[in-house]
Amino acid sequence: MQSLQYGSMANIDILRFLIGFVMLSYGSWSDLKTRRVPNLVWIYGGILGSVLLIYELSTIWEDYGLYLWALLFATFTLFFNSFVDEYILDKNQAMLWKSSQYLAILCSIYFFFNFDSDDISKNNYQLLDFISIPFLMILMYIWFYFGPTIGGADVKAIMAISLITPFSITFTDDSLTAFDDRGFPYPFVIFMNSLLIYLFIPICLAIFNIIKGNIESPFFQIFFGTKMELNRAKESFVWPMQQVVGKRVVMVAFVKHKSDSDKDWNRLEDEGIDYPWVTLKIPYIIPLALSFVITAFFGDIFSSNIVQPLNSLFS
């Protein structure tokens, strides 16, 4: 019986991985080619993840209580709330959605007043995995509205991942974890690993520029961009790192993404700059997709290579 259950869970892990892999692969391709990702990519991924989550919850909820179903409903509402504003709802649909939001608030209150703290340690702290899903979604809302530059598609991708892979997935026996018994909630591990991968982009750009011989003063730009033929740059998803100020061509450390690039390109052309320095519009979904695959095979690389070494310095 145990082997049958293990096989069933392993099959679900494979299914979750395939759903996430297909979703992020298509999202990365679409974002790279058009800088747009259809909402349906994340909606379909979130729905499939939700169905699997409901199935798994139906097998364990009695270990906790009805409050876990309440948390799940509030979580689903939080996810789909990120899409509703982009669609036109008729009067009945708007009323139904508003009712769902009120019900989600009541479910959240029910959860906070009914969950037992002793349940947290059950099933290897699985309750933390459930709680981490809406927590990560709220964090993404905050990051999108108040934090560093991040696209709406990036936020929706991370939120969809939290539904598709809420529990740890590993295809190897020596997967890295932050702690001995278990690691951080799996969606957070994917997110943290993606940040680590993103940090490698400047290093890769520097190596590329050194190989190409693109080494010019003040040198910092080799970590954030490369040189590109002007006409090609105009048609590519890049921003100019060089700008004309007065009668001088200067290198800018921080590119204003909302600036009028067309005027900047024309000014550079007037100054005879045929190969300007440009910074690439690299979609965050690409390192996120890489992280999704790497995490499934290698585990929590971020904590093992950054958090633990730093912690050892102060222990």
Tell me: the pLDDT tens digits for 67-79? 899 999 999 999 9
Alpha helical stretches, state H, 61-90: 67-84
Q: What is the pLDDT of residue 299?
A: 84
Per the DSSP assignment, residues forming a β-bridge with 279 are 239
Per-residue pLDDT, averaged over 267-293, amounts to: 84
Q: Which long-range contacts (CB under 8 A, 24 or more apart) does 223-230 make?
A: 224/279, 225/277, 225/278, 225/279, 225/280, 226/277, 226/278, 226/280, 227/275, 227/276, 227/277, 227/278, 228/275, 228/276, 228/278, 229/274, 229/275, 230/265, 230/268, 230/269, 230/273, 230/274, 230/275, 230/276
Strand partners, 245: 248
Instruction: Taking residues 158-180, report their average pLDDT.
Output: 83
pLDDT band of 239, cuts 50, 70, 90: confident
pLDDT for position 54: 92
Average pLDDT of the chain, as a whole number: 82
Helix (H, G, I), strand (E, B) or coil at 243: strand
Is 60 exceeded by the pLDDT of residue 231? Answer: yes
Nearest by Cα to 153 from 282, 281, 27: 27
**Partner residues linked to 240 by β-bridges:** 278
pLDDT reported for residue 3: 38
- Name residue 299's beta-bridge partners: 176
**pLDDT band of 2, cuts 50, 70, 90:** very low
pLDDT at residue 259 tops 60: no
pLDDT at 4: 37
Full-model pTM: 0.81
What does the pLDDT average to over 106-134?
Answer: 86
- What does the pLDDT read at residue 26? 95
Residue 200: count other Cβ atoms within 10 Å of its Cβ.
11
The band of 116, judged by pLDDT with boundaries at 50, 70 and 90, is: confident
pLDDT band at 5 (very low <50, low <70, confident <90, very high): very low
Q: Where are the alpha helices (DSSP H) in the chain?
A: 2-34, 39-60, 67-84, 91-114, 122-146, 152-164, 186-212, 230-234, 261-270, 285-298, 301-302, 308-313
- What percent of the chain clears pLDDT 90, i.e. is strictly above it? 31
CA–centroid distance for 33 within its chain: 19
Cβ atoms 102, 159 nearer than 8 A: no
